[in-house]
């Protein structure tokens, strides 16, 4: 009988328009499946949704985005099996989701409340609070404490070490289709110096962020402070460890999500194209894979093969190493002798896993070295943070695992070696280098003479050209294109980032790879225009709305960087009003891309034939 009366009440309520504040639900009101709560500035909405028409969920999504991107789900593992459900504040003052027969499907599960109300905030946080309390620290319950697959600005993931409560992200079982708990999780490991791990089925490590170094994670050198108004925060002490981010510009919508395919993505909304673009993602290459080169191995995505043993080490399994499998790692050439050991300085590295390190925040680097030298089991040491020239001390006592090299932005690591291995002539990554001072001086002098001669020839030639009457044709169209594309600082035409970008005398805009990734929505199949023997062409749109065509050359091509440069020079020289314009190019790591003007009506071939 009670169940029937409840059903009758809800049925009658559905026939009457319930009057309640658009963002607040009181204890006398019911939210039906055809109703929503909308945050005060209409950023988020709370209501019922279904991706399959057979399972219904209570969730939060962006209110003004057409695709209804869901960011939180209450009953993700216990769906309603029809389109009728009711959200109320029950007799025990809990927020309760029930079926038509009154059976509870999900509850906020609090223990004490007097006169609670439910409110959806502009941050996307759903809170249960006392009606006369607005202090965020006094919320009875909040959805930010129970994240699903998405981290929103202001939401924290991590550990409360006093209570043992932990918050992490878990993927959908099928992103965009089924919000049930999936196989991948992104969770902070609080041991040692905390790091964040992407794991499969909570067991197999897929990716490691590296420790926080005061500015960013050691394994994310591109994670620059205040990037596009996105600010990152990582805090830990004896009471807890938490990671969050915030956005200074409220017009920017950004979220961190774990996908069902096992990828961590930062997605940013582009209003001009009404699409989410991938601002950053991981793992993005072989070296991002956990323990790709095993213990004492260094992974370098710009090298071939990617795995090398650092100086003083050799492959543990030479046969597997020769077959490009470095997962077994490396072993020492010479056993350590505590009294005579030295330390190898490895630069621009992702620090090894830190779950078992010893840490002291008050020590400097010199004190850290002395501590490690006295402890014969210490295998390496480093600063904890890079701010203020480097502060704190952490030391490793076991094998060093999951390291990779970066062109720039990595950290300094000091690895213990036997004296005989530390004194050889190889670099930190094990490659051979000579150090002959006489040869260096001779080469330097010779180079100076050659450069001086070239300077003299250059000025003589300029003098001849200055008095000639030869006129060159203007490059108005190309210059106009260049001015258009270089607006808003999307990319730089200078050559400060990489030696590979030195294009000699050609002043061609150089695109950043992340810019092209965002423009093409991570080179999605939906943007694919065509494919040839040398690569795939994608349609893209830059942040300010300009359409481009991006030719991504195949990584299997035998064409090297110099050959690629020569090809770009040739295309630039062939600029013509009847030919598609080349706007720029990109050379980063093993990626080589050409950026062309996008032709709306396809090619001249399709018109003639």
Residues contributing to the annotated binding site for ATP = 551
Distance CA 145, CA 138 (A): 13
Which residue numbers belong to the known binding site? 551
Distance CA 222, CA 224 (A): 6
* Other beta carbons within 10 Å of 387: 12
**What is each CA distance from 515 to 146, 479, 502, 522, in whole angstroms?**
33, 21, 19, 10
Distance CA 516, CA 567 (A): 20
Distance CA 608, CA 578 (A): 14
Contact 491, 584 (CB under 8 A): yes
Tokens of 495: 């050559």
Long-range contacts of 598-606 (CB under 8 A, 24+ apart): 598/539, 598/540, 598/547, 598/548, 598/549, 599/549, 600/547
Tokens of 38: 């909308």
Beta strand 297-299 with 403-405 is parallel
Question: Angle at CA 480, nearest 5°, toward 475 and 486?
Answer: 125
The DSSP letter of residue 217 is B
- Omega within 30 of 0 (cis) for the link into 305: yes
């Amino acid at each position: 009988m009670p169940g029937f009366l409840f059903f009758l009440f809800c049925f009658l309520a559905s026939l009457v328009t319930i009057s309640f504040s658009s963002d607040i639900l009181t204890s006398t009101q019911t939210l039906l499946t055809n109703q929503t709560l909308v945050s005060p500035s209409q950023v988020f909405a709370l209501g019922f949704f279904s991706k399959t028409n057979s399972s219904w969920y209570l969730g939060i999504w962006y209110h003004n985005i057409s695709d209804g991107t869901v960011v939180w789900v209450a009953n993700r593992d216990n769906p309603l099996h029809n389109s009728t459900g009711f959200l109320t504040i029950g007799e025990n003052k809990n927020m309760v989701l029930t079926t038509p027969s009154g059976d509870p499907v999900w509850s906020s599960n609090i223990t004490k409340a007097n006169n609670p109300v439910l409110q959806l905030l502009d941050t996307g946080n759903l809170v249960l609070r006392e009606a006369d309390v607005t202090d965020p620290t006094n919320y009875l319950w909040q959805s930010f404490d129970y994240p699903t697959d998405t981290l929103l600005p202001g939401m924290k993931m991590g550990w409360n070490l006093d209570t043992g409560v932990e918050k992490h992200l878990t993927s959908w079982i099928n992103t965009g289709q089924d919000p049930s708990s999936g196989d991948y999780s992104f969770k902070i490991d609080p041991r040692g110096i905390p790091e964040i791990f992407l794991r499969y089925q909570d067991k197999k490590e897929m990716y490691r962020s590296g420790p926080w170094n005061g500015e960013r994670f050691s394994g994310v050198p591109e994670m620059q402070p205040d990037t596009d108004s996105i600010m990152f925060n990582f805090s830990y002490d004896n009471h807890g460890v938490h990671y969050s981010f915030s956005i200074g510009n409220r017009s920017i919508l950004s979220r961190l999500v774990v996908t069902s395919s096992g990828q961590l993505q930062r997605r940013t909304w582009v209003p001009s194209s009404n699409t989410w673009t991938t601002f950053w993602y991981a793992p993005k290459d072989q070296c991002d894979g956990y323990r790709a080169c095993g213990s004492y191995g260094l992974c370098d995505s710009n090298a071939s093969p990617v795995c090398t043993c650092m100086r003083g080490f050799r492959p543990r399994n030479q046969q597997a190493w020769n077959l490009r499998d470095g997962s077994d790692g490396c072993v020492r050439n010479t056993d350590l002798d505590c009294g005579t050991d030295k330390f190898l300085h490895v630069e621009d590295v992702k620090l090894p896993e830190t779950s078992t390190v010893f840490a002291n925040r008050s020590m400097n680097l010199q004190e850290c070295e002395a501590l490690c030298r006295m402890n014969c089991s210490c295998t390496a040491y480093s600063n904890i943070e890079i701010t203020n020239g480097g502060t704190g001390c952490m030391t490793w006592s076991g094998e060093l695992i999951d390291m990779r090299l970066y062109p720039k932005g990595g950290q300094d690591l000091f690895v213990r070696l036997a004296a005989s291995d530390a004194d050889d002539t190889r670099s930190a990554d094990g490659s051979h280098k000579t150090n002959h001072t006489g040869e260096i001086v001779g080469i330097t002098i010779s180079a100076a003479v050659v450069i001086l001669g070239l300077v003299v020839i250059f000025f003589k030639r300029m003098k001849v050209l200055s008095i000639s009457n030869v006129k060159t044709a203007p490059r108005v169209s190309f210059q106009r294109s260049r001015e258009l594309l270089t607006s808003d600082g999307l990319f730089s035409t200078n050559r400060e980032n990489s030696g590979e970008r030195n294009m000699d005398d050609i002043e061609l805009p150089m695109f950043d790879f992340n810019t092209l990734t965002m423009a093409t929505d991570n080179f999605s199949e939906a943007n694919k225009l065509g494919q040839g023997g040398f690569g795939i062409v994608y349609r893209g749109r830059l942040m300010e709305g300009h359409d481009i065509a991006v030719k991504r050359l195949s990584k299997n091509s035998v064409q090297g960087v110099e050959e690629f440069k020569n090809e770009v020079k040739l295309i630039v020289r062939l600029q013509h009003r009847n030919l598609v314009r080349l706007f720029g190019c990109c050379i980063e790591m093993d990626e080589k891309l050409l950026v062309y003007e996008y032709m709306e009506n396809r090619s001249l071939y399709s018109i003639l034939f």
